[in-house]
Amino acid sequence: MAQREKRAGKQKVARTASGKKASPEVLAEASATAREGTRERTEEGHRMAGRTPPSEKSPARSSGAVRVVDDSIRSYAPITEDEKLLQAGSDREDFTRTDPWRVMRIMGEFIEGFDNLAHVRRGVSIFGSARTHPDDPQYQAAQEVSRILAEAGFAIITGAGPGIMEAANKGAKLGGGASIGCNIELPFEQGANPYVDTLINFRYFFVRKTMFVKYSNAFIIFPGGFGTLDEAFEALTLIQTGKIYQFPVIMFGRHYWAGLIRWIQSRVLGESKISPGDPDLILLTDDPQEAAHAVIQAWEAQNAR
């Protein structure tokens, strides 16, 4: 008994990637810090472009009629619609009062996206950090590759924010092409960059991600964080499982992605978690011309079938 208690006292605890001992408190703190970091990066991206972040603007004063918001299916603990959707209902009555209505809202969001993007036949989605400064070489590269692709007849699709997204939308405008932004509801007002011509606002990440894939012929992934990685691996999984074809996933910035690529080759492939040919699904470049050529070449091959 004493030995069992002694062993229990020495029980090992999992640690976070930064080395902290895991606990509900650590996870809660990390979650709150992550949300705050997302807000700070987005706001910094706007400031670096010379704009006041939308989340810092005072609401305009109004008089006369007041807009009434229907709160009948809203709960005030979660902040965004994604949070509400992903929370389990407390009971059967709660389910019948909320989730069926959310299904209708999700359907409406799909319809709005399809309706606004139905004209896009050749599109390229470009992802990357909202924090990238306009003087950063990666910003300039994103602008240039978007300009080249726009001149070749491709629509440029981004998340509508600052940084790399802004650079891509700006390049689309410079190239005379369609500049599309798919914005997402966050716990703070992130706003859209001024180079977006067609703006669609989404409440649900998975609906927005569907639009990125459905209306794109390629993804170009510039240096970024978790959201950027999410989009990259979403596309790679769809290609690997045969859901989409002739779809280049171009990781721009060899130095930035080098560690990830080494890990994929040495650990993921080395332990046979993926097939030997899977790393070849990723294209690496530092040249806007090369990136654009890969997209155009893949589109031509797909349409030659």
152 domain-assigned: yes
Helix ranges (H only) for the chain are 2-9, 24-48, 81-86, 92-117, 137-151, 164-174, 205-214, 226-240, 254-263, 288-303
Would you state the structure tokens that stand for residue 211, as one six-digit string? 């639009």
Q: Is the pTM here over 0.75, yes or no? A: yes
Percent of the chain with pLDDT over 90: 58
Say which CATH number the domain at 175 has.
Answer: 3.40.50.450
16 domain-assigned: no
9 domain-assigned: no
20 domain-assigned: no
Task: Spell out the residues 6+ positions from residue 115 whose beta carbon is closer than 8 angstroms to its own.
Answer: none
Total structural domains within the chain = 1
Contact of 127 with 250, CB cutoff 8 Å:
no
12 domain-assigned: no
Name the residue range of residue 260's domain. Answer: 117-303
Determine the Cα–Cα distance for residues 1 and 113; give it in Å rounded to an integer: 63
Phi-psi category of residue 128: left, alpha or beta, with phi > 0 → left and psi -120 to 50 → alpha: left
261 domain-assigned: yes
Tens digits of residue pLDDT in 115-125: 999 999 999 99
1 domain-assigned: no
18 domain-assigned: no
Tens digits of residue pLDDT in 213-233: 999 999 999 999 999 999 999
Instruction: Give me the mean pLDDT over the 255-279 stretch.
Output: 94
Task: Spell out the residues 6+ positions from residue 119 whose beta carbon is closer than 8 angstroms to its own.
Answer: 178
Chain centroid offset of residue 17 CA:
22
Contact of 12 with 20, CB cutoff 8 Å:
no
